[in-house]
Structure 1
């Protein structure tokens, strides 16, 4: 499983990291509301199997993160807290939490609860793959690998077509470079690898040649990646 853990207590973080009973599970730890919000509002949140979320964070409220998560995805969420009443736990579950565990708890139990939720999660139907999409005013035929506008055409490489497909499929949402490398290039992101930046630059030039307005629909998200905004 790929699990996102949002927990600010260093001791609890280290306990979860070292006592997690399944070595093949991959855990990503975040300690602040600010960093968590970045993930929650990007397409990358859909690629976690589950989320472990502390209710009390130093710079924000885990309940607000829960609300944001539920607006974007049905990924299983387990809330953890050192305090809380039956009413507060019931309120959190009504807002979309799948489980609520009070500290202290056994890490093996936490993993077992998450595994059960992940296995019970309804399988998402694969999205219909669109053969034609629009980048601004430009039509992109992903099957034929061409871009078209007003009778003019430009060729697309396979990699360019995959980038367009990923950006368009997550339009109006930030796509991190790690997400784009995973889904367009099928490999992990290396900060020294500029392949994605080169391809995006080429795509913008092609869009500009066909229709100047459409060049601006692929936005750079500083410190993160790229985003496709509809005109």
Structure 2
């Protein structure tokens, strides 16, 4: 399994790493919301088989992370906490948590619960994929980070994929640079920062390489930002 663990206590995180019972599993350990933000708010979250989140983080709340993740994916998620009532745990499960475990943790139990959740998810009927986006004649697989057209493929970066996703979700509407910087680069827009323009230019070239018409899907809104327009 590939498991994302967001735990701010270094001793607890190290205990999870050392006592995790299956050495072939891959654990990615992060300690703050800031470190995890680019994953939580992107399709990269789907690359993990399961997620473990501490409810109390120094710069955020595990419940808010749960809400953000559930906007994008149903990946199995277990909350862990030193404190909590029956009502607070029930509320978390109502919001989409698959399990809620109180500390001190028994790592083998945590692994067993996660393994059961991952196995159960894999047995569910396949749902209609929401990670395939059409840009004219080009299909973007947001999960694989690839553009596909007439049997040809081109890779896109994580940032390019987030640009496509943000514009497509707001298709036929103008998206400000401020909005795009916040959702793509997770920072505030600076008028002197040309990062977004560079990425859009590269993305258009890739689209045009696969389909000349598809490059026109991403349009510039002068003095404002960009928009996705259907052909």
TM-score by length of 1: 0.65
Report what 1:140 is aligned to: 138
**How many Å separate the matches in 2 of 1:76 and 1:117?**
6
- Any gaps of 5 or more consecutive residues in structure 2? 140-147, 170-182, 186-201, 221-225
5 Å-filtered alignment, 1:1-231, equals: 1-121=1-121, 122-123=123-124, 125=126, 134-135=134-135, 138-140=136-138, 142=148, 144=150, 158-160=152-154, 163=156, 167=161, 171-172=165-166, 200=203, 202-203=205-206, 206=209, 213-214=216-217, 230-231=228-229
SS of 1:79 mapped into structure 2:
strand
**How many Å separate the matches in 2 of 1:110 and 1:6?**
14
Deviations 1:147-203 (A, max 9, x none): xxxxxxxxxxx332x659x949x7228789xxxxxxxxxxxxxxxxxxxxxx85741
SS of 1:22 mapped into structure 2:
coil
RMSD over equivalenced CA pairs, Å: 3.9
**How many Å separate the matches in 2 of 1:27 and 1:229?**
38
Q: How many residues align structurally?
A: 184
- Any gaps of 5 or more consecutive residues in structure 1? 146-157, 177-198, 218-227
**How many Å separate the matches in 2 of 1:75 and 1:107?**
20
Q: Is the 8 A contact 1:205 1:215 kept in 2?
A: no
**How many Å separate the matches in 2 of 1:109 and 1:212?**
51
Q: Is the 8 A contact 1:207 1:215 kept in 2?
A: no
**How many Å separate the matches in 2 of 1:208 and 1:113?**
47
* C-alpha displacement of 1:211: 7.7
* C-alpha displacement of 1:207: 8.4
Q: Is the 8 A contact 1:171 1:229 kept in 2?
A: no
Deviations 1:56-99 (A, max 9, x none): 00001110011111111111111100111111111111111111
* C-alpha displacement of 1:204: 5.9
* C-alpha displacement of 1:36: 2.0
**How many Å separate the matches in 1 of 2:227 and 2:19?**
43
SS of 1:53 mapped into structure 2:
strand
